[in-house]
Amino acid sequence: MFRTAELGQKVPKREFNQREPLMRQALLEVQANLRVSSKFPVIVLFAGVDGGGKGDTVNLLNEWMDPRWLVTRAYDKPSDEERDRPDYWRFWRDLPPDGHIGLFLSSWYSQPILRRVYEKDDEATFDDRLDRILAFEHALADDGALILKFWMHLSRDEQKRRLTKLEKAPLTSWRVTPRDWEHWHIYDRFEAAAERTIMRTSTGQAAWTIVEGVDPYFRSLTVGNIIRDEITKHLEEARNKALVLEELAAERKLHLAEARQPAAETAEGEAVEPAVVISPLQRATVLSSLDMSLHLTKSDCRKQLQECQARLNQLHRKALKKRISTILLFEGPDAAGKGGAIRRTTRALDARHYQVIPIAAPTDEERAHHYLWRFWRHLSRAGRVTIFDRSWYGRVLVERVEGFASEDEWKRAYAEINEFEEQLTDHGILLLKYWVHISKDEQLERFKAREQTPHKRWKLTEEDWRNREKWDDYEWAVNDIVEHTSTHTAPWVLVEGNDKRFARIKVIRTFCERLEARLNDNK
Amino acid sequence: MFRTAELGQKVPKREFNQREPLMRQALLEVQANLRVSSKFPVIVLFAGVDGGGKGDTVNLLNEWMDPRWLVTRAYDKPSDEERDRPDYWRFWRDLPPDGHIGLFLSSWYSQPILRRVYEKDDEATFDDRLDRILAFEHALADDGALILKFWMHLSRDEQKRRLTKLEKAPLTSWRVTPRDWEHWHIYDRFEAAAERTIMRTSTGQAAWTIVEGVDPYFRSLTVGNIIRDEITKHLEEARNKALVLEELAAERKLHLAEARQPAAETAEGEAVEPAVVISPLQRATVLSSLDMSLHLTKSDCRKQLQECQARLNQLHRKALKKRISTILLFEGPDAAGKGGAIRRTTRALDARHYQVIPIAAPTDEERAHHYLWRFWRHLSRAGRVTIFDRSWYGRVLVERVEGFASEDEWKRAYAEINEFEEQLTDHGILLLKYWVHISKDEQLERFKAREQTPHKRWKLTEEDWRNREKWDDYEWAVNDIVEHTSTHTAPWVLVEGNDKRFARIKVIRTFCERLEARLNDNK
């Protein structure tokens, strides 16, 4: 989930200096529009890893924006006053009114996450606390509030580097407390709790944005950009809604003269298109971080393949005995070598015990059901291996990019997929998700080769060429997939596939490692 | 919550015999429309008290409807096949396709409720299971499915009567198992689990209907009516949505020729207005069950008032010491005597320890926040009594009836209110909700008396007369409030208020009883 925020993205100082005055202007402008329309409050929430720049970003935003319409709130131990009331009383009383922005630090997410990390709450209680958050944010968003949530991320190593650096400098050493180091030592537990939090509370109305927190310039511009864009979008939506209500009200005027929506009265002509133009930040995808030069010699490959397959065969016999099922799924660009990798894997298994399910266009019967139904029906009995050649991720890949699924449909699919996969892993199934990747140039080479090989020509269609044109869209879709669905229990395995030999070995070896770990888990 | 389904509502046999053929015709008609449009599946789910008529109703529906487009599923212990897969596999594989209706008995709700009743799961785990249900139903509904959930209710006494009767007759005695009696003995635990289930899983997309299960004629016609109406409504909505999509698709045709929504192609002219006309069933509100003739003599009242007030004073001193807060709220028709009851209550308390909050139109500042914000800010410190003269229920009463809140707003308010009140009671606050009721005639008397008393004339406004015209709407709104928000921890106290003396004593006495119980709870 956090892999997309460990790419080392940076903005050079010089670029930041150029961008900063524009950003300030853009934010002041959007703040003014928000104030004039005064239709909803904006709640901006910061959470994440210590040292990820939560405080610094909030300070910078306070510098950039107009303080009259901005409040910042941070929460420590509850006061006497606060302890006398239900927990959420302090959050309710600090909510910004319509037209204002509230920045929240160590907010309603702090206690639930810390209680879980320190094992004061079990998972079910933790989920209950997250439910309370969901209900709270849901009520506010339904009432029109715009809620933006930023998760400022640092990797374990990066956090250590940062704490050490702060500690060494005399002027900043006070900022590092023993508690910070304590947290660093339980980074893994913290990450697991964070992952569950983000997965469960990232809703359409109040989604999390994971921000790479290493570079202060990159992170503050990223946050500033999103705040500006989202407020602009929300103002636009509120204005459209008010116009519709106004029309409705006009129609009903005779019948219902008093019941007019107050919003309708101030609807017209005040939400303006933003005047300040900011060019988008350069961003990197998780695929761009892969080392595509990885490769194996023919003889190395042959040797390793034999070893791996033998090992896999043994491991799977054990799995069968222990009734541990495996589901492997393969995604990747056309011609990435998914089929070849699958064949090398199944060769190590007994045909009675695995099943390969190629996913193409749905049948009529499948079309008459929820899109997940076709995958549920293919789940095998205990101990078996089920291999999906393409999978339920089509919803957030091809259907998203080609517009076959509406934005609403593919956006909610992440949560549906996570829920589905949680049911699989909760049941004890080992789930492995492979993205077999190739570079755009390598794909071109392979397409050309296919055209020239008679027995492979049928594999290449017009559609393959068309998909190629949308290469960047697909890459961003994969980035979002990894961000939303790569979890502790079901992480994505990104396979560097320019060298087919390397890819095949990596696929089988990862399978072996994960299966072995799973077998050891199981007493 | 179940009080609205304990009103003894019946349909006479003669009326049933007239209505049945029409109902059959109406259901067959709607089934045909559903099949022709074939846009979504219908999932009808039955749960509730044993003996509440779940099975009988499903049998009757099978008789009434066309079996070719109807499946019925009931679930016992999972099979080997099913145990090999995640729990929900069996539900997924049984889902009806578009255009079909599935009737589900002992479905995904059975296990969670039973595990909670038999204390195999704690509350947090129970909530986790309900979350899984929510996600499941949410995914299906988002995909277009219509989900109808019926809770067939019997009171504790009624269930006993029914089991005894079945047991006595030789032909039906086999239907009563030892397990049924076992369940009857833990009725209260079952009711608590049922209440939480309904509260947490009644969403806009998949709401529960609580059906009074005593009379077979009443319950089956009620269920039949709702199935017919909801399918008709959903067909209409699906058709409108398809038309909008079609327009959009037409606009984008040039740009995106391939990506057309398949739904748009079959959009026109097939969803027809229902031809069969059914007259609505006579239904009763929970207020109609009150005995409005209850009264007290002047001397009885004086004596009891003194006793109650003395007791309350003592109890509240203890509560103050133990830091147990109380919130009382009063709702009721104009001139029901809320103010008088509040004054009699506060007379028993020390002015430093209570606060009366009259709720009128919101201030500007309040209007710029979520509607619950104004109530959160008035929560008092530990040990105090806060009395709301009118309350957050305005949202689902006056705002609903007068159209100040949209349907969407007041419908989601039940869940928001339950969440709010759960936070109050979780924090240890005693919450008492009074509905002080008077009959329509009694109100007229009081209005007239006010007009003739100079020092009371100001209390009577034009608005009071206008509200009177919507008496029935208000009564149904109260019925819905009791159904949705009367819970074990925060039940509604319905006060028969035609006799002011009786009402005042009931208010204070109930306060004493509940406070005493709360003090005893608290070690």
- The string of DSSP codes covering A139-165 is HHHHTT-EEEEEEEE--HHHHHHHHHH
Contacts of A92 in chain B (CB under 8 A): 372-373, 376-377
Contacts of B257 in chain A (CB under 8 A): none
The three-class DSSP label of residue B520 is helix
pLDDT of B279 above 90: no
Res A264: pLDDT = 43
- Structural fold of domain A288-521: Rossmann fold (3.40.50)
pLDDT of A324 above 50: yes
Contacts of B95 in chain A (CB under 8 A): 369-370, 373
The secondary element (H helix, E strand) that includes residue A104 is strand A101-105
State which residue of chain B sits closest to A126, comparing Cα positions: B124
- Which one of B259, B412, B415 has the shortest CB-CB distance to A403? B259
Q: Do B402 and A259 touch (CB under 8 A)?
A: yes
Q: A 259-298 residues with CB below 8 A of B?
A: 259
- Which one of A131, A409, A429 has the shortest CB-CB distance to B131? A131
Query: What residues does A48 pair with on adjacent strands?
Result: A152
Q: Do A145 and B365 touch (CB under 8 A)?
A: no
**Statement: the pTM of the whole predicted model exceeds 0.90:** no
B374: closest CA of chain A, how far (Å): 9
- Structural fold of domain A3-265: Rossmann fold (3.40.50)
Contacts of B85 in chain A (CB under 8 A): 379, 381, 427
Q: Do A403 and B95 touch (CB under 8 A)?
A: no
Of residues A11 and B263, more confidently modeled: A11
Res B253: pLDDT = 62
- In a mutagenesis test of the B interface, which of A80, A83, A85, A466 is the best target, namely the one with the most B β-carbons within 10 Å? A85
The secondary element (H helix, E strand) that includes residue B44 is strand B42-48
* A26-46 pLDDT tens trace: 999 999 999 998 889 999 999
- Which one of A122, A370, A404 has the shortest CB-CB distance to B143? A370
A489 touches chain B (CB under 8 A): no
Q: A 58-117 residues with CB below 8 A of B?
A: 81, 84-89, 92-93, 95, 97-99
The three-class DSSP label of residue B39 is coil
- In a mutagenesis test of the A interface, which of B427, B462, B466, B470 is the best target, namely the one with the most A β-carbons within 10 Å? B427
- Which one of A365, A376, A424 has the shortest CB-CB distance to B97? A365
Mean pLDDT of all residues in B427-454? 93
Answer left, alpha or beta for residue A381, where phi above 0 means left and psi between -120 and 50 means alpha.
beta
Q: How many CA atoms lie within 13 A of A89 on its CB side?
A: 22
Are the CB atoms for A153 and A159 separated by under 8 Å?
no
CA-atom Rg of chain B in angstroms: 26
Mean pLDDT of all residues in A73-102? 89
Res B508: pLDDT = 97
Q: Do B97 and A369 touch (CB under 8 A)?
A: yes
DSSP state of A486: -
Contacts of A79 in chain B (CB under 8 A): none
State which residue of chain A sits closest to B324, comparing Cα positions: A84
Are the CB atoms for B387 and B346 separated by under 8 Å?
yes
Q: Give Cβ neighbours of residue B144 (< 8 Å, ≥ 6 apart).
A: B39, B40, B98, B238
Res B216: pLDDT = 93
pLDDT of A397 above 90: yes
Of residues B264 and B92, more confidently modeled: B92
Of A287, A329, A207, A335, give the one whose Cα is nearest residue A473: A287
A85: closest CA of chain B, how far (Å): 7
Res A6: pLDDT = 86
pLDDT tier for residue B254 given thresholds of 50, 70 and 90 = low
Q: A 208-247 residues with CB below 8 A of B?
A: none
- Which one of B85, B95, B132 has the shortest CB-CB distance to A379? B85
Contacts of A78 in chain B (CB under 8 A): none
pLDDT tier for residue B268 given thresholds of 50, 70 and 90 = very low
CA distance A474 to A402: 10
Are the CB atoms for A106 and A179 separated by under 8 Å?
no
Of the given ranges (A63-77, A115-129, B224-238), which has the lowest mean pLDDT? Answer: A63-77
pLDDT tier for residue A208 given thresholds of 50, 70 and 90 = very high
- In a mutagenesis test of the A interface, which of B419, B431, B466 is the best target, namely the one with the most A β-carbons within 10 Å? B419
Q: B 364-393 residues with CB below 8 A of A?
A: 365, 368-373, 376-377, 379, 381-382
Q: Do B369 and A97 touch (CB under 8 A)?
A: yes
Of residues B68 and B493, more confidently modeled: B493
pLDDT tier for residue B68 given thresholds of 50, 70 and 90 = confident
pLDDT of B142 above 50: yes
Q: Do A381 and B85 touch (CB under 8 A)?
A: yes
- Cβ contacts below 8 Å, chain A against chain B, sum to 136
What number is the ipTM of this complex? 0.75
Of residues B271 and A506, more confidently modeled: A506
pLDDT tier for residue A255 given thresholds of 50, 70 and 90 = low
Res B269: pLDDT = 47
- Which one of A89, A409, A427 has the shortest CB-CB distance to B86? A427
Res B270: pLDDT = 52
- Which one of A258, A369, A382 has the shortest CB-CB distance to B84? A382
The most confident of the ranges B22-26, B199-203, B237-241 is B22-26
Contacts of B99 in chain A (CB under 8 A): 368
- Which one of B135, B370, B381 has the shortest CB-CB distance to A84? B381
The three-class DSSP label of residue A55 is helix
Report the first-to-last Cα separation within chain A, whole angstroms.
Answer: 28
CA distance B68 to A306: 55
Q: Do A370 and B88 touch (CB under 8 A)?
A: no
- Which one of B124, B139, B372 has the shortest CB-CB distance to A370? B139
* A459-480 pLDDT tens trace: 788 888 888 899 999 999 999 9
State which residue of chain A sits closest to B411, comparing Cα positions: A142
Share of chain A above pLDDT 70, in %: 95
Are the CB atoms for A108 and A52 separated by under 8 Å?
no
pLDDT tier for residue A268 given thresholds of 50, 70 and 90 = very low
pLDDT of B329 above 70: yes
pLDDT of A269 above 50: no
The three-class DSSP label of residue A43 is strand
Q: Do A86 and B412 touch (CB under 8 A)?
A: no
pLDDT of B352 above 90: no
Average pLDDT across chain B, whole number:
89
Of the given ranges (A163-172, A261-270, B56-65, B220-229), which has the lowest mean pLDDT? Answer: A261-270
Are the CB atoms for A108 and A136 separated by under 8 Å?
yes
Tell me, yes or no, if the two domains B3-265 and B291-521 fold the same way: yes
- Which one of A93, A131, A259 has the shortest CB-CB distance to B376? A93
Are the CB atoms for A410 and A395 separated by under 8 Å?
yes
pLDDT of B47 above 60: yes
- Which one of A38, A89, A377 has the shortest CB-CB distance to B379? A89
CA distance B339 to B342: 5
Contacts of B366 in chain A (CB under 8 A): none
CATH of B291-521, one of 2.60.120.20, 3.90.1530.10, 3.40.50.300, 3.10.20.30: 3.40.50.300
Mean pLDDT of all residues in A74-96? 88
Structure tokens belonging to residue A352:
């009675």
Contacts of B40 in chain A (CB under 8 A): none
Mean pLDDT of all residues in A131-159? 93
- Which one of B87, B124, B377 has the shortest CB-CB distance to A93? B377
- In a mutagenesis test of the A interface, which of B370, B374, B377, B410 is the best target, namely the one with the most A β-carbons within 10 Å? B370
pLDDT of B261 above 60: no
Q: Do B427 and A85 touch (CB under 8 A)?
A: yes
Res B265: pLDDT = 44
Domain boundaries, chain A: 3-265, 288-521
Q: B 136-195 residues with CB below 8 A of A?
A: 136, 139-140, 142-143, 145
* B365-414 pLDDT tens trace: 888 889 999 999 888 888 899 999 999 999 999 999 999 998 888 988 99
